[in-house]
Structure 1
């Protein structure tokens, strides 16, 4: 049966089609919060300018409304203040999953949740893990406004990762539980430290522990090309009973479960402040025989569900406000030298950093990859039994 529509209905339908075509031809406002009216997509923007400027980026990020982060403890390098500052400034909620997770956990979340709304938008990775993620094609190229001021050797030329903050491997010690706190790796082998020496994580998964083994290697005849002496050191530490497999965290430090912790100086210095009121006398020493400095790296998930917010987060972290907040957490920000020259550095916070002499040097990508392979093959054996 044929049903005839009233002429007005047909005309209205025709007009609707014409109107829709006209809107399409003129460029109707997209539904995607990450895309501007003129078709610029935050997911492919390689800089704020590429997206139409900071105002456009802020607008798109606010429209997305959320930023998915992972493995960002609030008491790590002052991340609590950074998260609060970003949320207050832009009204964008930061969801932090698995705050005590490792760099490898972050990479695993990116690969396992590709295309999902709950995938991480941004990553804070140990440098060796950032290199690995870039090699796997997981990271989006994006250069923050002050990208040129990040020192050479501390950034990927394409902007897939760049150093954010860093410090030196240090030895933290509960002076009320340990009669004479160690100040060198050689000290850690003394029998008085039986069952007391811990790492912050597993060196095959966590950047802090990776740095701890590298520092031990440098203290025992190793080099950036040879991390094996570091494994041998921990094997000896395990054999004489000084090494504890309990991974140090703020909770284990406060409870006295890890009275000696090999960790970044900014974390140990932060514990000294945090637990002073709770009766913990936490001291910090950069080992005289194994100075190892390393930075963590910022990166954006190539498939970030909130690409505009991810890029705005990077801009915030590399602003003077963001860099100084890391500094207040005893971490050395990547733009520290540039900010000192520009007069934007918080000098009072800089004066409180643990004192270290000399100029830091860093292992190359090839050296780090080699070290990771050696660790993957030998760490479990070194500390087993």
Structure 2
């Protein structure tokens, strides 16, 4: 499947990206360990990735169920005696963590392969994959209701109590989804009032707002309609065989990268570095692609033909645009404050 126009929007770089080196830099002593905050086994292919990291490098990385906001709060609390070696974060959280001095630069083999624009030039963070925001819909849980086709559809009282989204003030996916709503409603990164008004209306319809991944709750039907990424929806449908449909809202949406950073004064620094390099290796990027995530190294065709054939058509993805990630980080605190205030009123 050809996704070159999507690649232009996502990467903002030439279509042909940096290639992979042939040599391996991942050898680690048996029994090695690295702590990576925010790597839930049921989200984004991390369960498979952690197994592969152990098999290929000898480094054991325990599952960690924090979200981006919780990860940053923990790193900040542990700053004098760090526990984590690396963190997997939404890009705006990583940029703000850099400003707070919580991460340190690492320009490793993986960082070198990632195109400009998808990494901090000094190595404070590096993108590892990307996804598109939309609606993950459990069709069976809807019973006789139609599958919603846009953000505005969800304001219909017939969907009361059926819509879920992660807390935009805590989880990066929640914040990304809120900005996708804002874009769809005509807002900008300098004007998020359209999203605030939208969530005030949605809040009157008893939405479900967890702070951490709600993937399993959507599969079970507890949350029939979940704001989430395409990769989660495709995994649910094609791997977990759930009655899930992914919808790219008719009003528009965004695609965003997720990144990794090395924690400042990491206790197992070398292993943390190897983990970051591995997820950006050919094997690591292929695993992301096979889990329906967009690779950031190599051509976008690194997604296997079998996986690519299961994506929505390019015409649907044309409604997904990129945004200014630095500005996304700058306005995050203000958005969170406005959102929380609106939910109280």
> Does structure 2 retain, via aligned residues, the 8 Å contact 1:64–1:309?
no
**1:316-361 deviations in whole A, cap 9, x for unaligned?**
1111110111111111111153x64xxx653333333344433732
1:350 to 298, 301, 308: 308
1:193 to 121, 139, 159: 159
2:326 to 356, 365, 368: 365
Identify the residue that residue 135 of structure 1 maps to in structure 2.
Answer: 99
The 5 A counterparts of 1:286-301 are 286-301=248-263
The 5 A counterparts of 1:1-385 are 58=26, 61-62=28-29, 65-97=32-64, 99=65, 101-114=66-79, 116=81, 119-178=83-142, 179-199=145-165, 201-239=166-204, 241=205, 243-246=207-210, 249-276=214-241, 280-337=242-299, 340=301, 346-355=304-313, 356-358=316-318, 360-370=321-331, 372-384=332-344
Q: CA deviation at 1:92?
A: 1.9
Counterpart CA distance in 2 for 1:328 and 1:109 is 31
> Does structure 1 retain, via aligned residues, the 8 Å contact 2:138–2:219?
no
> Does structure 1 retain, via aligned residues, the 8 Å contact 2:30–2:58?
no
Counterpart CA distance in 1 for 2:308 and 2:56 is 24
> Does structure 2 retain, via aligned residues, the 8 Å contact 1:227–1:374?
no
Q: CA deviation at 1:218?
A: 0.9
Q: For residues 103 and 347 of structure 1, do their structure 2 counterparts lie closer, same or farther at Cα, with a shift above 3 Å needed? A: same
Counterpart CA distance in 2 for 1:94 and 1:156 is 24
Counterpart CA distance in 1 for 2:285 and 2:333 is 33
Identify the residue that residue 16 of structure 1 maps to in structure 2.
Answer: none
Q: CA deviation at 1:225?
A: 2.5
Q: CA deviation at 1:238?
A: 1.3
Structure 2 unmatched runs, 5+: 1-22
Counterpart CA distance in 2 for 1:227 and 1:354 is 28
> Does structure 1 retain, via aligned residues, the 8 Å contact 2:164–2:227?
yes
Identify the residue that residue 4 of structure 2 maps to in structure 1.
Answer: none
- Compute the TM-score of the two structures, normalised by the length of structure 2: 0.85
Q: For residues 256 and 383 of structure 1, do their structure 2 counterparts lie closer, same or farther at Cα, with a shift above 3 Å needed? A: farther
Identify which range, 221-230 or 180-189, moves more after superposition: 221-230
Identify the residue that residue 32 of structure 1 maps to in structure 2.
Answer: none
> Does structure 2 retain, via aligned residues, the 8 Å contact 1:193–1:242?
no
Q: For residues 115 and 65 of structure 1, do their structure 2 counterparts lie closer, same or farther at Cα, with a shift above 3 Å needed? A: farther
> Does structure 1 retain, via aligned residues, the 8 Å contact 2:43–2:215?
no
> Does structure 2 retain, via aligned residues, the 8 Å contact 1:122–1:301?
yes
Q: CA deviation at 1:95?
A: 2.2
Q: CA deviation at 1:58?
A: 4.6
Counterpart CA distance in 2 for 1:285 and 1:125 is 24
CA-based RMSD: 2.4
> Does structure 2 retain, via aligned residues, the 8 Å contact 1:275–1:281?
no
**1:71-113 deviations in whole A, cap 9, x for unaligned?**
211121211111111101122221233x2x1111111222222
Counterpart CA distance in 1 for 2:117 and 2:276 is 19
* CA radius of gyration, larger in: 1
> Does structure 2 retain, via aligned residues, the 8 Å contact 1:175–1:283?
yes
Number of aligned residues: 319
Counterpart CA distance in 2 for 1:290 and 1:186 is 11
**1:26-47 deviations in whole A, cap 9, x for unaligned?**
xxxxxxxxxxxxxxxxxxxxxx
**1:188-231 deviations in whole A, cap 9, x for unaligned?**
111210111110x2111111110111011111110232222111
